[in-house]
Structure 1
Amino acid sequence: MFNPLILASKELYLWLVHLTSKRTKKNNDKIVFLLSFPTASKPALQMLYENFPEKLVICYTKNSKELASYYERRGCSTYCIDEFPTLLKNIVPIVTGCKLVFCDNYFAFLAGITFSFSTKVVQLWHANGAIKSFGLAAEYAKKASEKDRKRYSEVYEKFTHYVVSSKKMADIFAKSYRQNINKLPFGYLSTDLFADQYWLSETRKQFKNYFPSDKKVVLYVPTYREYKTSLPLDFAKLQQHLGDEWQIMVKAHPHDEEFYSKIKNESQIITDFKGLDLVQILPSVDCLITDYSSVPFEYSLANPKGKIVFFCYDYDEYNKEVGVEENFESWAPGAIVTNEEALISEVQCSSKQNFTSFNQMWNEYVQGNARKQLLEWVRKVYDN
């Protein structure tokens, strides 16, 4: 429903950002990282800190405070984007005058920033591929007001480069943002880990130390849903049917607090991962259950002998409310099921899956050296 007060507040917000940005005359040599997905952004942040510790400035959303504080204790300047006075006083002037900006998401305030011609704004994104629609291609964006869509476009126009793992993902960005894409074909930074055999071995040992069991691991990783939904699985029933052979784990989307609150006290499943990130869990997962999440694009590299089942119980509703990428049913590297009985049957099925064609489509640029390539590119930006 159209709300003129919300519209007016958005316009005032961006007007103040724009005014502050226009008044900023002084350039700086900072590298600004706009942070909202801590786990996805760890590799890039670590690389930037190791090589440019005095230049790195982290501007973070509240959910990313812990990671930002880690770097603040090591001497980096950090500012919270969600605090509007801080945004105007500190963040906007630094971002406006800096040489390089990294983003791991959509940040609304960028619509009001007036960058210099030489500033590079790099979209790292928080996903390696896309099953669900986003940007202007998403169903909810199509239903938004004309002014809201204009604001979305004003943010997208600020991005100058995109780090991607495939031409397909670059094409999706171009379609979703209606922009010409300057792609940096380095691969998703986290995928470097899956090419490191020593890291894989040590990570599997660490997982085994935390979860000492001979059971096979099934991990459920649902995507974030913009609309409310009931708990889709009866975990007691799932455990009963899978039996003692399987250990059930559930990882909530980092922004889905409501789903996490529903599952955290379920006795049949594991939701506490002892501080392990998703990338540290995937190599030990025998069967991944997901839906429209981007996790399959990493899992296919982390565990090429593994198995994926797509539990799309709300496919029609999700496609109507958000949107699903074209031909998903034909390129999905695993069975797509819509009910619990079919899900149980697919998990128990012993048939093997082959991720080769899937990886050729979505991970064609992945060589295990994404961070190195990005670092070389950043250095060239500073040399020019």
Structure 2
Amino acid sequence: ILYYVNKFLMMHLENLPKIFEESDEKFQINYLEKLTELIAKLPDEVIFELDALDYLVQNILNDSFEWIKYEAYPACLTLAEIISHRAAPNKFTDTKWLRLEKCVRKGSVNPLRNKKNPTVLTPIKKKFVSFFSRKVVFTIAKLLPVAKDNVLLVSNKISDLDATFMPIYQTIKQKHPEKSVRAYMKMRPEDNHAMYYLTYFWNLGRAKYVFLDDYYYQLYSIRMRKEAEVIQLWHAAGAFKRFGHSSLGFKDSISLDFETRAHQNYTTSVISSSDLKPIYAEAFHMDETKIEAFGLPRLWKLFDQDYKEFRLDYFQKMYPLLKGKKVITYAPTFRGNSEERKAFQLELNLRKMKEELGKEYVVVIKLHPLVSVETQVPEDLADFVLDFSGIEMNDVLIVTDILITDYSSVIYDYSILNRPIIFYAYDLEAYSLERNFYHDYLEFVPGPVVATTEEAIKLIQTNQMITGKLQDFAEKAFEYHDGDAAARIIDYVMQD
């Protein structure tokens, strides 16, 4: 749906300035009204990822507004209102989207007519604005009454709502339409940096609810107001590698002071199983009574049969290489610090795998988001290997028949599908010194462990990948085996 809607809209919008220049007011009004109707009917999943919507706001309503006739202004304002209402909550840190929101707030198209380009901040000015916002704006905002309907979704790792935040957002809008949801994600080049910092710390100081799913440095040096609910959704299922306070003393850890500041503001932590409460209590240094086993919002895809069938059909149409083949996905975790991640090398011998398995299988590469190196598939492997590193993990898992990984928590997600996992742990000893695990690795993992590509190939050829541990592993890892985690979380957090 997204692909075709995007293509349809872009085909029309690219020529719209010229068409509007030559058209009368009746045509413009009719066109804008039809466009408004279409955008109002599209589902959130399409709206939030629609490049054409950005193009409409950036290139048409802002850059080409002069071609819209006076008589069409009311229709243009209605379009702006529906876009502002339907758009992803992280859009409104961009200057042109802020201009659109200002139109709606003022009930006038004047902000689009009287455009002013934002001042470009130098690095020194950025630091000053950030410092001022954190120390002054946030402090003043905390002195004001809490804004009970203000909800923030925050992350430094992603620029758009992902499979974790999307169901949280949709559930809030469905169950609590009175709530005002804002998302402050990883800052983009087009964002108005001054406005981003000022509005972010103002809203943070007044917010009743803050949702995050990872480390988030903006919270390290501040204390949230006592009325605020800070909900840590944590990006990884289960408890495989050590993290937080549990990792102190190992090579990849930082310091006690860092971990304390990083996790000090949480009021609730959401996990997948009650059995994990002691582990998360230690990792976040928080009381077990504040840890709730509601499940992870992003896992809804793996429980929704209709979605899985749709996604499988989509992949096979978009990537003809997958048709008639079984899919082996290689999803290694990251290693080392940020510099070491840039030099990450795939240890799996893909040419050997093609030679032995190429008639029946294809290999999909899914690198960890923290690995910044790009995978260049060699020309001679283009008919055997696909790089899906930019695709959401659970979408990749749906199309996966065999998962090869090492120390990644993706094993919890994939266990829901009850499909075979091979653990390619070629550097187990070294990695144990870097991060280590909560359990004995060899006894804990729900699949065979290999150290070479040849061993992995042999397991696949002889179909000896499933162990008796897999089903028990999935049963213990999840309190609920459904896709309703977001509803449970919101019902608990927003009881008032």
Same fold (TM over 0.5): yes
- 5+ residue gaps, structure 1: 1-9, 70-78
Which residue pairs with 2:293 in the alignment?
185
Whichever residue aligns with residue 236 of structure 2, its letter is: A
Please state how far the C-alpha of 1:30 moved relative to its aligned partner: 0.9
Please state how far the C-alpha of 1:205 moved relative to its aligned partner: 2.1
Whichever residue aligns with residue 385 of structure 2, its letter is: I
**8 Å Cα contact 1:141-1:149 kept in structure 2:** no
Please state how far the C-alpha of 1:211 moved relative to its aligned partner: 3.3
Q: Distance between the aligned counterparts of 1:177 and 1:315, measured in 2?
A: 26
Please state how far the C-alpha of 1:277 moved relative to its aligned partner: 2.6
Choose from 109, 112, 116 the match for 2:218: 109
Which residue pairs with 1:239 in the alignment?
354
Please state how far the C-alpha of 1:47 moved relative to its aligned partner: 2.9
Partner of 2:463, secondary structure, is coil
- 5+ residue gaps, structure 2: 1-126
Choose from 265, 269, 277 the match for 1:170: 277
Which residue pairs with 1:76 in the alignment?
none
**8 Å Cα contact 2:164-2:296 kept in structure 1:** no
TM-score normalized by the length of structure 1: 0.80
1:152 aligns with 2:259: yes
Which residue pairs with 1:6 in the alignment?
none
Which residue pairs with 2:139 in the alignment?
22
Q: 1:49 to 1:235 in 2, by over 3 A?
A: farther
Choose from 315, 334, 353 the match for 1:207: 315
Q: Distance between the aligned counterparts of 2:420 and 2:253, measured in 1?
A: 38
1:47 aligns with 2:162: no
Choose from 299, 303, 313 the match for 1:195: 303
1:100 aligns with 2:209: yes
Which residue pairs with 1:121 in the alignment?
230
Q: 1:111 to 1:20 in 2, by over 3 A?
A: farther
Q: Distance between the aligned counterparts of 2:239 and 2:378, measured in 1?
A: 27
Q: Distance between the aligned counterparts of 2:269 and 2:204, measured in 1?
A: 18
**8 Å Cα contact 1:140-1:321 kept in structure 2:** no
Q: Distance between the aligned counterparts of 1:287 and 1:143, measured in 2?
A: 29
Which residue pairs with 2:432 in the alignment?
319
Q: Distance between the aligned counterparts of 1:346 and 1:255, measured in 2?
A: 29
Q: 1:139 to 1:330 in 2, by over 3 A?
A: same
Which residue pairs with 1:5 in the alignment?
none
Q: 1:144 to 1:195 in 2, by over 3 A?
A: closer
Q: 1:264 to 1:189 in 2, by over 3 A?
A: farther
Q: 1:130 to 1:346 in 2, by over 3 A?
A: farther
**8 Å Cα contact 1:290-1:309 kept in structure 2:** yes
1:224 aligns with 2:344: no
Q: 1:206 to 1:101 in 2, by over 3 A?
A: same
Q: Distance between the aligned counterparts of 1:48 and 1:86, measured in 2?
A: 25
Q: For residues 213-260 of structure 1, what are the alpha-carbon distances to aligned partners after superposition, in whole Å with 9 as ceiling and x for unaligned?
A: 1111100111122343433122112211223111111111122121x3
Please state how far the C-alpha of 1:363 moved relative to its aligned partner: 1.1
Partner of 1:201, secondary structure, is helix
**8 Å Cα contact 2:230-2:267 kept in structure 1:** yes
Partner of 1:270, secondary structure, is strand
Whichever residue aligns with residue 300 of structure 1, its letter is: S
**8 Å Cα contact 1:291-1:311 kept in structure 2:** yes
Q: For residues 264-304 of structure 1, what are the alpha-carbon distances to aligned partners after superposition, in whole Å with 9 as ceiling and x for unaligned?
A: 8763410148x753222212211001111111111111x22
Please state how far the C-alpha of 1:113 moved relative to its aligned partner: 2.4
Please state how far the C-alpha of 1:332 moved relative to its aligned partner: 0.9
Please state how far the C-alpha of 1:60 moved relative to its aligned partner: 0.8
Q: For residues 343-370 of structure 1, what are the alpha-carbon distances to aligned partners after superposition, in whole Å with 9 as ceiling and x for unaligned?
A: 2222323133452210122113333321
Please state how far the C-alpha of 1:103 moved relative to its aligned partner: 0.5
Please state how far the C-alpha of 1:263 moved relative to its aligned partner: 5.0
State which structure, 1 or 2, has the greater radius of gyration over its C-alpha atoms. 2
Q: 1:372 to 1:347 in 2, by over 3 A?
A: same
1:31 aligns with 2:156: no
TM-score normalized by the length of structure 2: 0.63
Which residue pairs with 1:340 in the alignment?
453
Whichever residue aligns with residue 138 of structure 2, its letter is: S
Q: 1:121 to 1:326 in 2, by over 3 A?
A: same
1:271 aligns with 2:387: yes
Q: Which has the higher contact order (CA 8 A, sep 6+)?
A: 1
Please state how far the C-alpha of 1:139 moved relative to its aligned partner: 5.1
Which residue pairs with 2:462 in the alignment?
349
Q: 1:171 to 1:345 in 2, by over 3 A?
A: farther
Q: Distance between the aligned counterparts of 2:303 and 2:375, measured in 1?
A: 35
Q: Distance between the aligned counterparts of 2:219 and 2:300, measured in 1?
A: 29
Which residue pairs with 2:182 in the alignment?
57
Please state how far the C-alpha of 1:116 moved relative to its aligned partner: 2.1
Please state how far the C-alpha of 1:160 moved relative to its aligned partner: 0.8
Q: Distance between the aligned counterparts of 1:142 and 1:250, measured in 2?
A: 27
Q: Distance between the aligned counterparts of 1:20 and 1:348, measured in 2?
A: 62
Report the identity percentage: 24
Whichever residue aligns with residue 168 of structure 1, its letter is: D
Q: 1:298 to 1:112 in 2, by over 3 A?
A: same
Q: 1:19 to 1:319 in 2, by over 3 A?
A: farther
Q: 1:162 to 1:332 in 2, by over 3 A?
A: same
